[in-house]
Structure 1
């Protein structure tokens, strides 16, 4: 006699997540052609991130403040459901995946990446998810395919170096890290040549240890050269670089 009531409860429990997302979408105002989420949303995701992999989403592949190695990492706050709903409404599956990946929630990130068609950017991000799961060979296959199609894909090169490092192939990993660092250095040189003279002096002053203005300029660089390890605390660079530990420009740091 209790079975019909039990069935109703079960159906309601299964339908609840769908209803919540539907309500959020219905109550979320349309933003037209603007960004579906605020800049603060991405700043919070980047600020809490502890991942080493590089992501291809423009908001995820940017300067991230370097964290102290001696501190106890604070667990990131859950991603606001309303913002996820806005990204879903905008069809930005890459953005949802990037938000989860920055939190270190790789299973959720992979679930959205697998819904996207294959492309160099998507495959590079999915390879990062495989790396986080310890599936090194799967990650390497994806990254090799990306680099065959786009040999200078910076995120794929970086992530491939991380895979090689995890597999114990430290020399090959170091060579790849150096290639990425050189690409960043060339991009930065090209960028400073286009700066107005005052901005260029500020850049040079910051790079030589005078302050942190470089982060402002680096954030405006094209994504192909902006975040190849700069200021993320993720990378390996030539030893001549001044590290962020010494209070200088947000240059790549040594592993």
Structure 2
């Protein structure tokens, strides 16, 4: 009984307070308090929303500027490539090459096995292939000078074996005489004119040209389509090695081309 009598006053106070809150809610007193609270908080809330919106807008603008910058850089790179290609074409076609074949310009996009400062390239990869009419064994030049030959082709790319490659070998002649020999690649900048008879009179600074050992096109009469056309410049003689005990004399030949830094080449079609 004592517990009930202690609880009754507490219950009555709680019940009365509940009735009071309900009544003042109905007559709008709490609404006024709520309104005052909302009005005081509203500027802060709006400021927070504005800050978040501004940050979102800034991020969007930054992303748009980054995308635009990337697009402009790509356009600039494309225009630079086109300009370089046009300059290479202008330079190439300003040179008269004694051939009835047309030229396919191609950009060098790779040099397998080439390590700058350590080794010289033996092969180049170009961005043109069978889709542009390039065939295996096609001759590749820059200006009037021999670069090498195409050794493999797919639809969009081709691989060129350079004349300085150790695998390269072809017949050549000295321009101011009837002297003939075999040009062999050494794997570095120098070429070797070998198999020249001791009785021949080689001279320094003489120009060396391809002699012309072009085969019939591949597939015709069982031919392989290999070899180079005649009279393409290879380089000039820089030194001669001649020993009476040898059967042949040899000479070192240098091409003016920098095979490490070729950007564009031309394929004889």
TM-score surpassing 0.5? no
Structure richer in strand, relative to its length: 2
TM-score (normalised: structure 2):
0.28
Greater share of helix: 1
